A = this chain, B = another copy of it.
Amino acid sequence: MSGAGATSPVITLLTDFGTRDVYAGVMRGVIANLAPRARVIDLTHEVRPQAVADAAFLLEAAAPYFPWGTVHVAVVDPGVGSERRILCARTSRATYLAPDNGLLSRVLERDPPARVVSVENRVYFLPEVSHTFHGRDIFAPVAAHLAQGLDPCRLGPEVDAIVPLELPRAREREPGVIEAHIIYADRFGNLVSDVAVGDVPAIAEAELGGVRIAGPLCKRYVDRDPGQLLLLEGSTGLLEVSVNQGSAQEALGAAVGDELILRLHSTERSEVS
């Protein structure tokens, strides 16, 4: 697979660098230098500082909508400068570049890699590599080279196992009762859970932070009156707890990691194991 096709290759950036400094802009400068035809798209630079799990969710949500051959660069990297590895994973549809800290766990589960290498070949880094800004000195130039068609094999040795994301998983606690979790809260206060809506077709009610939310699953915010809590089929295919024209996060005082209990109608059985 080569990134050099008839149209210019796409590179996405997902970081916790924020937008009030020039960290993200400098990464773009390095890329503009080395891959002048690449189209660089910001997924976001406002991941909560060092929130690897948030980044893992966001990358999984976004990647399927990008062109074949896109190079996705994700830098949320509490261990920058330590001996943690940097991974480059090549799948049948994209290339992923991220620290080996669990950030790629979700997206590679959905889009399994043909090969994962440890990024070590300094030929593709900037000449001087700082210990605190690998986004500029390693991730950006390596991404640019990948967008120009570099074979990941050139970056370093293949790795067998990557660091997994330490996360609870939704499970059936007892027949008809699912123990799920809030895995992400978006700008609007929608609370995304770790349950695919296809796995819980008939919800009687849910409970989050002591508050009961009546089923069934809604398809639209407007299925409830403004200000009301609802269980929603989210745009990523996951169940969300939302408020029509409001913030479920504020209404419930909820946070990422909170337990969400789902009670199914007795005649139904969940697919969550």
Binding site for B on A (CB under 8 A): 7-8, 10, 12, 14, 17-23, 25-26, 28-30, 32-33, 36-37, 39, 41-47, 49-50, 58, 61-62, 65-67, 70, 78-82, 130-133, 136-137, 186-188, 219-223, 232-235, 245
Contacts and interface: CB of A to CB of B under 8 A. Distances in A.
A232 B80 CA distance: 13
Indicate the member of A23, A65, A131, A234 with the most B CB atoms within 10 Å.
A65
B235 A136 contact: yes
A137 B26 CA distance: 26
A82 B220 contact: yes
12 contacts: A20-B47, A21-B186, A22-B61, A25-B42, A25-B44, A32-B39, A33-B65, A33-B66, A36-B39, A131-B220, A133-B235, A137-B235
B232 A132 contact: yes
Nearest to A84: B222
Given A14-B22, A25-B12, A32-B39, A132 B65 contact: no
Contacts of A20: 44, 46-47, 186-187
Given A18-B187, A20-B46, A26-B62, 12 more contacts: A7-B37, A18-B186, A18-B188, A20-B44, A22-B43, A29-B65, A32-B41, A32-B66, A33-B66, A80-B220, A80-B222, A81-B220
A26 B66 CA distance: 8
Given A20-B46, A62-B22, A132 B220 contact: yes
A12 B29 CA distance: 9
A103 to B, nearest CB: 14
A65 B133 CA distance: 13
A7 B37 CA distance: 7
Given A44-B21, A44-B25, A245-B50, A221 B132 contact: yes
A101 to B, nearest CB: 13
Contacts of A42: 19, 25
B26 A132 contact: no
B49 A132 contact: no
